[in-house]
Structures are given as structure tokens and as C-alpha cells.
Amino acid sequence: MLGYTNEKQGSAFWQDLLANRIETAEELEGRLGLKIPRLREIIRKYPMRISPHYLSLIKEKNDPIYKQCVPDPAELENDRGLVDPLAEERFSPLPGLTRRYPDRVLFLVSDQCATYCRFCNRKRKVGRRGTVTKETIQEGLRYIKAHKEVRDVLLSGGDPLLLETPQLETILRYLRDIPHVQIIRIGTRVPCVLPQRVTPSLVSMLKKYHPLYINTHFNHPKEITPESAKACSMLADAGIPLGCQTVLLRGVNDSVKTIKQLMEGLVRIRARPYYLFQADQARGTAHFWTPLDTGLEIISALQGNVSGLCIPHFCVDLPGGGGKVLLTPESIQERQKDALIIKNFEGELYEYPIYS
Ligand SMILES: *Cc1c(COP(=O)(O)O)cnc(C)c1O
Ligand code: SF4
């Protein structure tokens, strides 16, 4: 039923762009004109991919775009954190489907992204062939059909918009035919890293499956380009409400000034800030972690200074599968020397270690 491949087909413009992505050490060092220590070793462990569009946004070594996509030896050297920080596997009734809440599921429909973010919390999975297959997709769809309590399906990955339009449509059509599925959501970084993928034919397909929401992912004001603005406005014009999930990243966007500019820019391109995430404690990403207080300070600095439209929820996904919790001063029950005790949505207490 569902063909699965993101590769090598068609000659549409976005596919040509995707075909020109950077994936090898030689290509990257050639394009950047510099040597990166242990690059080949890092890529063997955690795949690299950079779309031509995203690469073109790098202006100098270690700028905010560079840090998000160019492998760093710290990925190998700092082994703090967990391979599966959110215990997604523990809450997976099937491979590729996570059910942490009664009414909604996270459903992985692609294992490819247009650019692999070095801070990704699914670093263990993305870019590895065969984590998502047509069998896992079919079984996921059957599960959703058989579970009437699931009213909200969040398609994720990898990036669902890297599927071919007809493949994605097959999934959407199947979901839309299930009476208890009220809302379909797509989580995608395409508007940021491969905005050319948002084509008129994609958009006219998507708008047949309302109510459909898209949450995109921008982390820095420099990512808001004319191409991204165009992609977002095409989606918004098709009646798709756009949200944005941003990850707070050390050395990339961990300041009030940068987050404020980003949030204002997002509202301008019609993507409503939704979550500002504390970076998950995934192994190989410790160099991106910020102290929890940084996020709290940024949110309180935004309050009163920008419109409420520009203020996302500061949110932490509790390690070990506690689920998402909005961090406000009230959710912090106790402060210990090296940890905060945080109450989750079920009233249970979790310990969140502070690395600062
Ligand atoms: C983030 C997430 C969701 C969706 O959460 P919302 O707060 O509704 O956006 C659903 N399931 C899982 C497993 C998640 O991680
Ligand atoms: S686009 Fe999302 S899933 Fe893909 S690498 Fe980036 S953070 Fe991970």
C-alpha cells in the first residue's frame, strides 16, 4: 500500500535540491574550506546531512547555523545524557508509534530529514535506514484505527514532508477516514531547512485533509529567509494553522535578544510560537544544554516586553518518560543543589538534573 522511499525519484525542483545535499566529510570540508577534527568518525556514529539552502545560511565558522548542522567532536567526547532520553521506546506499543497520553499519539512516518540537527533528541534513529518502513507505517495506521480514544495524531519522524506527496497523501487519507481521529498534526523542519519542498501541489494536497495543523521548527532569526517566509505563507494561505517549536541551544539562541528577535520574526511569517523546549538530555548533545534557569529567565524577560502572541510555552520533556511539562515558577516544587524537583501533568514528582 504505502511505498516508502525519499530518494532518487522525480525531477521536481525540491528533489534536485535534496539530491545536492551534503553528506560526506569530503563534501563538507570542501564546501566550508576547513578541516573538522574526527569528522568521519562522528558521521559514522551520527549521520550528517545539510541541505544546500541551510548550508547557504552559514556565514562563518561557529555561527548559529553552523553549530546546528556541522558535526562537532564534542558529540563523541561528552557522553552525558541518554540514548533514548524520553523513554519513547517504553511508551511505544509498536515501533514508530509513541503513546504517552491517552488521546494522542506520536507517529513516525519518515526516518529522513532534509538536514540532521546535531542536537536532535532522536539522534539514535534519524538518518538510519529502516527505522521506519512501510510495515511500521501500516501497523501504526491499524493501531490508530483500532483505538477510539486517539483523537489527535501527530506525524513526525524524521520529517514527514520528505515523503513524496502521494505517499504522504495515502497516510493522510487513511487517517481522515477514521471517524475518531479529529486532528492531524505534522511536525516538520522543512519550512526552515528545505522551504522549496513546500510546492503548490503539496499545499493543494494538504488542504484536503483539514483540520490539519503544522508545527514547524526554527531556532534562530537568521533562519527566517524570504524562501521560508514564502513556504509559511503558502501553508497559511491554505488554511493550515502554523506553530513553531524552538529548542533552546547553548551558543545558538540562549539569550533574550535572540529569542525575542526569533519570536517576533516567526509571528511575522505567520508561525505562532508554540513551545520553547529545554534541549533534551540526549547523548551526544551535551554541548548544547543550557541551565533550566536560562529558559525561565528568557520567558520572564519576554513577558510584558512583547505581545503574548510572541511568547511560547517553555517546556521540558521529562527524562525517563514523564512527558511534557510547562515550566513556570509554580511547577518547580523544590530546588536542590544540583537538581530541580518538578511536578508533571499527573502530579508526580520528577528530578531534573542541572548541568551548568
Ligand atoms: C510532544 C508529544 C505529543 C504532543 O504533545 P502536545 O503537547 O499535545 O503538543 C504527543 N505524544 C508524544 C509522545 C509527544 O512527545
Ligand atoms: S528536523 Fe527534527 S527530527 Fe530531523 S534531525 Fe532535526 S530535530 Fe531531529
> Of the listed 21, 49, 99, 104, which one is catalytic?
104
pLDDT of residue 329: 60
> Of the listed 4, 101, 143, 209, which one is catalytic?
101
Please state the atom number of ligand 1 nearest to the C-alpha of residue 88: 13
Residue-wise pLDDT tens digits, 71-86? 999 999 988 988 888 8
Say how far apart CA 297 and CA 265 lie, in whole Å: 20
Count of domains for the chain: 1
Match 539552502 to its residue by C-alpha cell. 53
Q: At what angle do helices 134-146 and 165-176 cross, to 10 degrees?
A: 20
Is residue 59 annotated as a catalytic residue, yes or no? no
From ligand 1's centre to the CA of 80, what distance in Å? Answer: 25
Q: How far is CA 102 from CA 14, 147, 180, in A?
A: 37, 10, 13
What CATH number should be reported for the domain holding residue 310?
3.20.20.70
Position 12 in a domain? no
Position 351 in a domain? no
Q: Is the dihedral of CA 106, 108, 109, 110 positive or negative?
A: positive
Is residue 31 annotated as a catalytic residue, yes or no? no
Position 47 in a domain? no
161 Cβ below 6 A of ligand 2: no
pLDDT of residue 159: 96
Full domain range(s) for residue 98: 76-329
Pocket test for ligand 1, best of 86, 94, 100, 216 (most atoms within 8 A of CB): 100
pLDDT of residue 10: 42
> Of the listed 54, 66, 113, 118, which one is catalytic?
113
Is residue 104 annotated as a catalytic residue, yes or no? yes
98 Cβ below 6 A of ligand 1: yes
120 Cβ below 6 A of ligand 2: yes
Residue 140 has phi, psi (to 5 degrees) of -60, -45
Position 41 in a domain? no
Position 258 in a domain? yes
Residue-wise pLDDT tens digits, 120-137? 998 877 888 788 999 999
Position 324 in a domain? yes
Is residue 272 annotated as a catalytic residue, yes or no? no
> Of the listed 69, 120, 192, 244, which one is catalytic?
120
Alpha carbon distance, N-terminus to C-terminus of the chain:
49
From ligand 1's centre to the CA of 106, what distance in Å? Answer: 6
All three cell numbers of 262, joined, read 526569533
- For the chain, residues with pLDDT lower than 50 are 1-11
Is residue 122 annotated as a catalytic residue, yes or no? yes
From ligand 1's centre to the CA of 185, what distance in Å? Answer: 10
Position 192 in a domain? yes
pLDDT of residue 4: 37
10 Å Cβ neighbour count for 283?
17
Q: Which residues, 6+ apart, have CB-to-CB distance to 157 below 8 Å?
A: 108, 109, 110, 111, 112, 113, 126, 132, 187
Position 280 in a domain? yes
pLDDT of residue 354: 87
154 Cβ below 6 A of ligand 1: yes
Is residue 101 annotated as a catalytic residue, yes or no? yes
